[in-house]
Amino acid sequence: MHATLTVLGSGTSMGVPTIGCDCAVCHSTDPRDRRTRPSVMISFNGRNVLIDTTPDFREQALREHITQLDAVLYTHTHADHILGIDDLRPLTYKHRPGKLPLYASPQACDFLRTMFRYIFEPTYKFGGLPQVALHPIEGPVELFGVTFEPLMVIHGEMPILGFRFGSAAYLTDHSEVPAVTVANLKDLDILFLDALRHVPHPTHSTIEKSLKIVETVKPKRTFFTHICHDLPHEATNGALPPGVQLAFDGMKLEFEL
Ligand SMILES: [Zn+2]
Ligand SMILES: [Zn+2]
Ligand SMILES: [Zn+2]
């Protein structure tokens, strides 16, 4: 099945430009150096599946003219991946009397229920709430005829999820990709990997570290995401090997599911 992947955001948790920063990348006029928080949308057969709801979701949805969402998958519950949940509201109302399904690991479901108690245990009568329902991920998630396979990655000391869908895989926020997950990354057309910067970081991958994964897995096309202001788009891209690029906000990729 034909599908399109849209990069909604390619930036690290603070976004680029970073508030209060005077560096060259934060002042760049290249639109690809403006990075909202990390998220992608997969579109196929009239359906849109979102991965993560970032604090920039509203801006991303307006920019990409998103008028319909059919499911949301969560990688983990760090603020830069969940805080846009309330801005799902207008898109969830279209599901009435049903709810927009959200999928997350059982631990992530617990966290989301606590963090957004006003959504999941509403006690007030006024004001609109996102019409969403949480579903724990306990194995592959079947969505509209497509399998989204959860893949475990290590984010600092925490196991979190990436996803493989058809010939593409999206792994964000990893300091380590365990062998069991590497084994599930065979024959990929598209691979997204975390590449925060060049300097090592306790919870994120670097360009150098992620290039090692690329050498092992050999996807046709690799895109780095969760990028901080250390990496100017054009100059960094120019130094990457063939088939490897930095993702940028608004990038669209065609592939087969
Ligand atoms: Zn993150
Ligand atoms: Zn900066
Ligand atoms: Zn994170």
pLDDT recorded at residue 123: 81
Tens of pLDDT, residues 176-222: 999 999 999 999 999 999 999 999 999 999 999 999 999 999 999 99
Q: Which ligand is nearest to the CA of 158?
A: 3
Q: Which ligand is nearest to the CA of 231?
A: 2
Record the tokens describing residue 133, joined without a space.
Answer: 């329902």
How far apart are the CA of 29 and the centre of ligand 2, in A? 13
Tens of pLDDT, residues 42-95: 999 999 999 999 999 999 999 999 999 999 999 999 999 999 999 999 999 999
Average pLDDT estimate for 105-131:
90
pLDDT recorded at residue 101: 98
pLDDT recorded at residue 121: 87
Q: Which ligand is nearest to the CA of 10?
A: 1
List residues, by chain if needed, whose CB lies under 5 Å from ion ligand 2: 18, 21, 23, 26, 229
| pLDDT of 126 over the 90 cut | no
Peptide bond before residue 97 is cis, with ω within 30 degrees of 0: yes
Supply the pTM of this predicted model. 0.97
| pLDDT of 127 over the 80 cut | no
Q: 176 pairs with which residues across the strands?
A: 154
| pLDDT of 1 over the 90 cut | yes
Residue identified by tokens 């390619």 is: 10
